[in-house]
């Protein structure tokens, strides 16, 4: 019928040639794609720079110089009474042990026939870490029977010697440094040849507590890792059940009215509150009001729980919402109660989303520093917290706070340690995110 009305003859164009309109659209599309690509590249570049700088600075912290020497433990110096009575023996301080180390070092130098000009006795004693005397004393007090014998020990080398093998210290810089002399560096090279000085994996970095500013070589992340772990346990045990229960109530049971709207808006707002505010809140409530101890993982965990809750609630509500209503109807339709419908059908379907949200919340909490500073977790902690549950109340550190702490110190060796700690933190974060992805893959279901 339409044939009857004469139509303006449409210009027939070949599909093989592109018309101007299409050309314009295509070039606009290409431009947009390129902008996107540039944005992604810029992001990637920043990431690569960040990672290389951290890895460059930090990887060396996993390596450490050790000195293995035979130390004579004379009874005359360590236990004058000869009774092996610990109360008497502990009267000998680390100053009493230091000369033994110097003597042992001197012995090993002579034994290997090393001769270095201008090497003073003090420099020989200072070759090993200042921590070594304490290490020796601890060992002797723990094993009093070794007094009077000669034992082989592996000590940390002085931080500057350690730095020498990481390129941080050179003969030129040693000239100006009062902590190390060029002669000591020569000695290090000679002892390395003799096999007395070795460079190996730094297990102490993971097992030791923090150390004072003069002995960076002895500083480790052990207390921080344990403290972070304790806090994560507290956060997981509190934030997950509270968050999930709150979300289920709000999403499935609560009537939709002004009041619940208000709650919803406030939860969304809470997620955006700067974390330091939670720190102030924690200080006021948990420490000043409830009287919990400062620097304790329990307080850190509670503060981080407050901070993580909104994240978990938002993620949980989103995944509850994404469960199709037909599932709820199906359950209600065959006579399941609301609670049965939620717990038997809705929650299992929402679980992957909830788990992912929880892990992301935990990862966020793991990397959080500001609120912990306010509740005193920045303190210098050398001692490990005890086993749970009492350990939750002992002072501890946390990974990000330890990083913060180390970057504040003057010795450049701590910059290396801080970067190493960042690597450890990043590895934990990547692991947690990988677990989140795995869980999501594993439990994801279609309906």
Give 356's strand partners.
Answer: none
Q: Does 441 bind another protein (CB under 8 A)?
A: no
Least Cβ distance, residue 320 to another protein (angstroms): 15
| Of 82, 96, 333, 389, the one binding another protein by CB under 8 A | 333
Which of residues 106 and 260 has its CB atom nearest to another protein in the complex? 260
Which residue stretch of 69-77, 326-334, 357-365, 379-387 sits at the interface with another protein (rule: CB under 8 A)? 326-334
Least Cβ distance, residue 301 to another protein (angstroms): 36
**CB contact at 8 A, 436 and 355:** yes
Task: Show the CA angle centred on residue 167, arms to residues 162 and 171, nearest 5°.
Answer: 85
Q: Does 249 bind another protein (CB under 8 A)?
A: no
Which of residues 10 and 445 has its CB atom nearest to another protein in the complex? 445
Q: Does 322 bind another protein (CB under 8 A)?
A: no
Count of other CB atoms within 10 angstroms of residue 103: 17
The structure tokens listed for 419 are: 């970067």
| Of 98, 196, 331, 396, the one binding another protein by CB under 8 A | 331
Q: Is the peptide bond before 389 cis (omega within 30 degrees of 0)?
A: yes
Which of residues 30 and 337 has its CB atom nearest to another protein in the complex? 337
| Of 249, 337, 430, 437, the one binding another protein by CB under 8 A | 337
Alpha-carbon distances of 254 from 97, 339, 345, 349, rounded to whole Å: 70, 13, 19, 20
Which of residues 349 and 422 has its CB atom nearest to another protein in the complex? 349
* Nearest-angstrom CA–CA distance, 84 and 282: 49
Q: Which residue in 412, 414, 67 sits closest to 220, CA to CA?
A: 414
Least Cβ distance, residue 260 to another protein (angstroms): 11
Which of residues 6 and 325 has its CB atom nearest to another protein in the complex? 325
| Of 330, 430, 431, 437, the one binding another protein by CB under 8 A | 330
Which of residues 10 and 446 has its CB atom nearest to another protein in the complex? 446
Which residue stretch of 12-20, 181-189, 335-343, 369-377 sits at the interface with another protein (rule: CB under 8 A)? 335-343
Least Cβ distance, residue 342 to another protein (angstroms): 12
| Of 77, 328, 382, 440, the one binding another protein by CB under 8 A | 328
| Of 52, 56, 340, 408, the one binding another protein by CB under 8 A | 340
The structure tokens listed for 241 are: 């059940």
Show the site string, 256-275: x = touches another protein by CB under 8 A, - = not.
Answer: x-------------------
The structure tokens listed for 135 are: 């290490």
Which residue stretch of 43-51, 94-102, 220-228, 333-341 sits at the interface with another protein (rule: CB under 8 A)? 333-341
Q: Does 446 bind another protein (CB under 8 A)?
A: yes
* Nearest-angstrom CA–CA distance, 161 and 198: 11
| Of 77, 166, 345, 409, the one binding another protein by CB under 8 A | 345
Which residue stretch of 63-71, 207-215, 319-327, 380-388 sits at the interface with another protein (rule: CB under 8 A)? 319-327
Which of residues 11 and 258 has its CB atom nearest to another protein in the complex? 258
Q: Does 332 bind another protein (CB under 8 A)?
A: yes
Count of other CB atoms within 10 angstroms of residue 121: 12
Which of residues 134 and 336 has its CB atom nearest to another protein in the complex? 336
Give Cβ neighbours of residue 428 (< 8 Å, ≥ 6 apart).
Answer: 228, 366, 399
| Of 9, 195, 291, 335, the one binding another protein by CB under 8 A | 335
Which of residues 52 and 329 has its CB atom nearest to another protein in the complex? 329
Binding site for another protein (CB under 8 A): 255-256, 324, 326-337, 340, 344-345, 349, 445-447
């Amino acid at each position: 019928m339409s044939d009857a009305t004469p139509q303006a003859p449409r210009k027939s164009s070949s599909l093989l040639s592109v018309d101007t309109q299409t050309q314009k659209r295509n070039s606009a599309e290409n431009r947009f794609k390129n902008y996107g690509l540039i944005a992604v590249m810029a992001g990637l570049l920043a990431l690569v720079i960040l990672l290389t700088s951290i890895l460059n600075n930090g990887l060396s912290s996993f390596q450490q110089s050790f000195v293995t020497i035979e130390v004579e433990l004379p009874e005359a110096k360590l236990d004058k009474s000869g009774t092996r009575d610990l109360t008497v023996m502990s009267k000998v301080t680390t100053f009493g042990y230091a000369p033994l180390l110097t003597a042992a070092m001197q012995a090993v130098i002579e034994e290997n026939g090393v001769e270095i000009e201008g090497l003073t006795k003090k420099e020989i004693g200072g070759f090993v870490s200042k921590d070594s005397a304490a290490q020796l004393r601890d060992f002797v007090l723990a094993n009093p029977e070794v007094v009077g014998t000669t034992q082989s020990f592996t000590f940390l080398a002085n931080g500057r010697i350690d730095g020498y093998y990481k390129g941080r210290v050179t003969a030129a810089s040693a000239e100006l440094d009062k902590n190390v002399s060029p002669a000591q560096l020569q000695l290090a090279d000679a002892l390395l040849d003799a096999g007395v000085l070795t460079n190996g994996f730094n297990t102490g970095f993971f097992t030791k507590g923090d150390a004072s500013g003069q002995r960076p070589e002895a500083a480790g992340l052990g207390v921080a890792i344990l403290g972070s772990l304790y806090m994560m346990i507290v956060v997981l045990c509190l934030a997950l059940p509270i968050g999930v229960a709150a979300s289920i109530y709000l999403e499935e049971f609560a009537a939709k009215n002004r009041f619940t709207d208000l709650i919803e808006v406030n939860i969304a707002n809470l997620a955006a509150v700067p974390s330091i505010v939670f720190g102030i809140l924690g200080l006021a409530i948990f420490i000043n009001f409830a009287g919990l101890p400062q620097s304790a993982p329990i307080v850190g965990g509670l503060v981080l729980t407050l901070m993580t809750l909104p994240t978990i609630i938002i993620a949980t509500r989103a995944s509850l919402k994404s469960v199709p209503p037909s599932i709820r109807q199906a359950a209600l339709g065959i006579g399941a109660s609301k609670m049965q419908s939620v717990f038997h059908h809705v929650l299992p379907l929402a679980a992957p989303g909830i788990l992912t949200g929880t892990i992301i919340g935990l990862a966020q909490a793991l990397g959080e520093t500001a609120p912990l500073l306010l509740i005193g977790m920045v303190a210098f902690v050398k001692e490990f917290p005890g086993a749970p549950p009492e350990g939750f109340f002992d002072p501890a550190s946390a990974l990000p706070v330890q990083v913060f702490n180390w970057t504040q110190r003057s010795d450049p060796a701590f910059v290396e340690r801080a970067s190493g700690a960042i690597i450890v933190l990043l590895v934990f974060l990547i692991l947690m995110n990988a677990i989140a992805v795995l869980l999501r893959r594993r439990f994801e279901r279609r309906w």
